[in-house]
Structure 1
Amino acid sequence: MKKTIFITGASRGLGKIWTEAFLKRGDNVAAAVRNTDSLKELSAQFPENLLVIPLDVTNKNEAFEAAAKVKSHFGVIDVLINNAGYGHLGAIEELQEQEIRQQFETNVFGLIWLTQAVIPIMREQQFGHIIQISSVLGVIAFPTLGIYSASKFAVEGLTESLSAEVAGFGIKVTLVEPNGYETDFGASSAVYSKPLAQYDAVRTALQEGNKQEDYGVPEATSEAVLKLIDSENPPLRLLLGKAGVQWVKYAYSERMKTWEEWQTVSEAAHGK
């Protein structure tokens, strides 16, 4: 069934790949981007189905105006995909205040504004699906990616609450948690703090631990996302990629071991 999908961060990477996949199968797509030139070719190819919207997701007013424009243009919003975001790399000591604030402005506040903007629309429709693009690093954390993980951990928490809040309105909610993919995430789209030499060994160890097979093929994610938006009963969480599944399984087994080892201390702290 044809859907109307509102997606942010559609100018490159996974967002652009998914936008093209939606259009090719006949869906209507409202693609929010900072630079509309990035979607010129798709606009020419799908003039009836694609609405390109210039948007700075950190601007709350623009976010609400964009959602209203999508509703006015297509008459409905079946799916919101909050995909806009970027990675900031730097050890915690290396982070500057503005770098921290900007990471959260984009990855967290931008997502909140769009979510708030579409909820009334979907509530009135009595249906809809909000998909938040998180990361496997919203479930586990690696060194020098702490502020990025912090932003995605925030997305995980607020989205889990959101899913319970809006379920009665017929709105479904999903967190998509990709592992690394062969995109420009760590290159042109990433931001790096000024490095301190004291953390060079940490960075080297992380780089040496990277395996090429841990990075997935971006185009392979399209089928999974299409299945997700077509699902009558979508999951709250969906990992994308083989590496992420293994990392999360290991991380949670280790957490359970620790919690169980300290269970008597935890229970004694209850006080009664």
Structure 2
Amino acid sequence: MKTIIITGGGSGLGKELALLFSQKGYHVVLAGRTVEKLSSVRNELADGGGNADVMVVDIRNREDVFSKVKELCGKYDVYGLVNNAGVGHFGPFGDMDDAQIVEMLDTNVLGTILMTKAVLPILLGRREGRIMNIISTAGLRGKVNEAVYCASKFAVRGFTESLQKEFEGRSIKINAVYMGGMDTPFWTDSDHVKDPSRLRSAREVAEFIMEQMEQDTIVIESKKG
């Protein structure tokens, strides 16, 4: 059974992608920092007949990432990685706290790069695989009160497009996914989006992604209809 690692798998889009990959017969590894959320999703997958495990990892920490991925690859046939974990802080750039800036860059950019660097040699060794980077439409265009968030997503866009060129014509598929805001807990502690209910659900976005996985670039705008 092929194993796919999904970072940020404890809620939102990560959870919905985990459910859909599980339905397609993948063994899913839910990666993140909050064991309670990850375990809840694992149990939900198991109740539906799926096969899942939890990997508690801080994707910003190189030693943690590489040791956990090495341990995982000793147990399972790792086929792919979905870099879904991300954080966002919004507001005027001049008011942005330094800690918020560092958190976004460390999680969104460094975390994606470290996880990819740890998993990629495994995929090269098996001569097939998939890396899917969940980037956001904030990686396509600048937005008001999202300067650093957009900067982090533009960085992941450049990283992803470069990997696509590097592995063009080879058996490792690299997906760049650009989706707009979703109606998820991402907005719980923010007033940046006034009415999240007008946005697409995480389930709807996950279904779009699964339908278009053979495309290098997947763009899903936020508004319904």
Do the structures match in fold with TM over 0.5? yes
Deviation at 1:42, TM superposition (A): 4.0
Structure 1 residue 239 corresponds to structure 2 residue 219: yes
- Per-residue Cα deviation, 1:156-184 (whole angstroms, up to 9, x for no partner): 01111111123365211111111111112
**Which secondary structure does the structure 2 equivalent of 1:140 belong to?**
coil
* Compared CA separation, residues 44 and 186, structure 1 to 2 (3 A): closer
* Compared CA separation, residues 91 and 137, structure 1 to 2 (3 A): same
CA distance in 1, matches of 2:125, 2:89: 37
1:196 corresponds in structure 2 to none
Deviation at 1:211, TM superposition (A): 8.7
The within-5 A match list for 1:134-173 is 134-167=135-168, 169-173=170-174
**Which secondary structure does the structure 2 equivalent of 1:104 belong to?**
helix
**Which secondary structure does the structure 1 equivalent of 2:186 belong to?**
coil
1:6 corresponds in structure 2 to 5
Structure 1 residue 221 corresponds to structure 2 residue 205: yes
CA distance in 2, matches of 1:179, 1:238: 11
Tell whether the 8 Å contact from 1:6 to 1:70 is kept in structure 2 after alignment: no
2:25 corresponds in structure 1 to 26
Q: Structure 1 counterpart of 2:65, which letter?
A: A
CA distance in 1, matches of 2:120, 2:220: 26
* Compared CA separation, residues 88 and 37, structure 1 to 2 (3 A): same
Percent identity for Structure 1 against Structure 2: 30
- Per-residue Cα deviation, 1:65-105 (whole angstroms, up to 9, x for no partner): 22223322212x22210001111112111123222111100
TM-score, length basis structure 1 = 0.73
Structure 1 residue 49 corresponds to structure 2 residue 51: yes
Tell whether the 8 Å contact from 1:160 to 1:236 is kept in structure 2 after alignment: no
**Which secondary structure does the structure 2 equivalent of 1:78 belong to?**
strand
- Per-residue Cα deviation, 1:31-79 (whole angstroms, up to 9, x for no partner): 102112213344345297211000111011111122223322212x222
1:82 corresponds in structure 2 to 83
Runs of 5+ in structure 2 lacking a partner?
none
2:108 corresponds in structure 1 to 107
Q: Structure 2 counterpart of 1:167, which letter?
A: E
Q: Structure 2 counterpart of 1:113, which letter?
A: L
Deviation at 1:131, TM superposition (A): 0.5
CA distance in 2, matches of 1:155, 1:48: 31
Tell whether the 8 Å contact from 2:136 to 2:177 is kept in structure 1 after alignment: yes
Runs of 5+ in structure 1 lacking a partner?
193-202, 245-272
Tell whether the 8 Å contact from 1:107 to 1:151 is kept in structure 2 after alignment: yes
Q: How many residues align?
A: 222
